[in-house]
Structure 1
Amino acid sequence: MARRPVIGLTLDSEEAGGYSAMPWYALRRNYFSAVVRAGGLPLALPHEAELAAAYLHLLDGLIVTGGAFDIDPALFGEEERHPSVTMKQARTAFELEAARLAVKRDLPLFGICGGAQLLNVVFGGTLIQHIPDSVEAALAHEQPGPRDRPGHAVSIVAGTRLERVCGAGELQVNSAHHQAVADLGTGLVINARAPDGVIEGIEHPDLAFCIGVQWHPEYEISAADHALFHSFVEAARG
């Protein structure tokens, strides 16, 4: 049996309430099942920034997942904070450290939704803090329907790794974000856009695998979503 590469997935976190009377970690099961179906061995990562290097030594690839929170605007040089911004500082500290170490090691790195935004910040880029207030005639990037159905189309940029992986010039994707990439980080290129011009995907062409997408491919609503996970896991296999 072929070895399954170990894929780290960053967890989400919440304070006491709901699932537990104590603070807790969580992540939807479809993140893990998508990794398993793609041939990987998923490993959940708690938010211990000082242990990021130790965790990275265990991994063949890193997925920075999405979540209902935002990156502190101060981390990309903005003093003003939009009223809609909510933060999880411990999570962001861990994800920044882990992603920076992954880039330094050229470890395959996959950012999903907020994870794509974090990748842009890692490379020195900035973010749109609230799409409805910054993009004229913006689409409903926080779609009202279920996440296992498409919310809008994205156009894939020709010649990018994303195009090679997905094998298509346009995809129907789900959408659950109110922020997006503004100014690109150093070395990154755009690989997907929404019809309203919002950047929906980024990648670093000089690294083994470094892709971020604004949608949630773990729902696998298209063959391209599965192809993204498969390509990432194969890159982690080395």
Structure 2
Amino acid sequence: MKKNPIIGIIPLIDYSKDSYWMVPGYVNGLKKAGALPIILPIINTDTEAEMLADMCDGFLFTGGQDVDPEVYGERKSELCGECCPERDVMEILLLEASMKRDIPILGICRGIQFINAVLGGTLWQDIPKQFSDKLTHCQKPPYDKPVHDVSILSDTPLYELLKKECISVNSYHHQGVRELSPKLKCMARSPDGLIEAVYSPEYKFLWAVQWHPEFSYEKDGNNLLIFKEFVSCCSA
């Protein structure tokens, strides 16, 4: 009997409630796509990262707090919000362990920012103040409602999957990719030019998107397809 791939999900941390938590859509979206998702513990050692890499067929890097600018060689300005050192440490270890073994990774929101930063790129610490305020990048609820389009580059895996030059997406972030890592390629941009999706051609599946498929996969087939493609690569 073929087993569903096990996908480890990075937990969210709420300092105000001293708790770990999870947006249901991360779990339910991956389940609907055919995976067995598990919420991971926070780790801080190479040994623990290797143990998780042994156990999981893929990893989902979730949204959450801002990435500490120290990760990409900058000082934290007053424009940067709350950071999460525990997640930064964990995700660096897990990204390195996964890339070493070519374990599939999907990054969402903070995920695209973190992956880009660790691989040598930089971030806008605040899009409205440093980049542009002409487009809604931090919408109000409901979060399953699209608020802007993204243009998909034709020579990318995202275009091959969706067969579309443009899709509408939700948006809930105030930071974003500034300088793209030399190890990543852009797959999509918003009308104001912000990078909205990336991938690495060096790995089986290392994708990341700036929007939130976990909020809209039930209504938007494009986002369910992204989850399914990720799960399929975790099964291979």
Q: Could you tell me the TM-score, scaled by structure 1's length? A: 0.93
SS of aligned partner of 2:208: strand
Q: Distance in 1 between matches of 2:163 and 2:235?
A: 21
Report deviation, 1:15.
2.6
Q: Distance in 2 between matches of 1:135 and 1:15?
A: 29
Report deviation, 1:16.
4.9
Q: Residue deviations 1:137-162, cap 9 Å, x none?
A: 43110012410111111111111011
**1:234 matched residue in structure 2:** 232
Q: Distance in 2 between matches of 1:189 and 1:171?
A: 19
**2:206 matched residue in structure 1:** 210
Q: Distance in 1 between matches of 2:60 and 2:33?
A: 13
Matched, 1:53 2:54: no
Matched, 1:36 2:31: yes
**2:9 matched residue in structure 1:** 9
Matched, 1:141 2:144: no
Assess if the C-alpha contact under 8 Å between 2:72 and 2:118 holds in 1.
no
Assess if the C-alpha contact under 8 Å between 2:66 and 2:80 holds in 1.
no
Q: Which moved more, 1:191-200 or 1:164-173?
A: 164-173
Q: Distance in 2 between matches of 1:32 and 1:9?
A: 8
Match of 2:63 among 54, 62, 66: 66
Assess if the C-alpha contact under 8 Å between 1:53 and 1:101 holds in 2.
yes
SS of aligned partner of 1:57: helix
Q: Which moved more, 1:83-92 or 1:167-176?
A: 83-92
CA root-mean-square deviation: 1.3
**2:185 matched residue in structure 1:** 189
Residue identity (%): 35
Q: Distance in 2 between matches of 1:146 and 1:31?
A: 16
Assess if the C-alpha contact under 8 Å between 2:71 and 2:118 holds in 1.
no
Report deviation, 1:113.
0.4
AA aligned to 1:217 is P
Assess if the C-alpha contact under 8 Å between 1:167 and 1:224 holds in 2.
no
Which stretches in structure 2 are left out of the alignment for 5+ residues? none
Report deviation, 1:56.
1.4
Assess if the C-alpha contact under 8 Å between 1:72 and 1:87 holds in 2.
yes
Q: Distance in 2 between matches of 1:80 and 1:225?
A: 33
Aligned pairs (5 A) from 1:26-175 = 26-50=21-45, 51-67=48-64, 69-175=65-171
Which stretches in structure 1 are left out of the alignment for 5+ residues? 18-22
Q: Which runs of 4+ in 1 moved over 6 A?
A: none
Report deviation, 1:83.
3.1
Assess if the C-alpha contact under 8 Å between 2:62 and 2:110 holds in 1.
yes
**1:178 matched residue in structure 2:** 174
AA aligned to 1:86 is E
Assess if the C-alpha contact under 8 Å between 2:68 and 2:76 holds in 1.
no
Q: Residue deviations 1:175-234, cap 9 Å, x none?
A: 001011111112211001000111111110121001100001112141110000000000
Task: Name the count of aligned residue pairs.
Answer: 232
Q: Distance in 1 between matches of 2:25 and 2:180?
A: 29
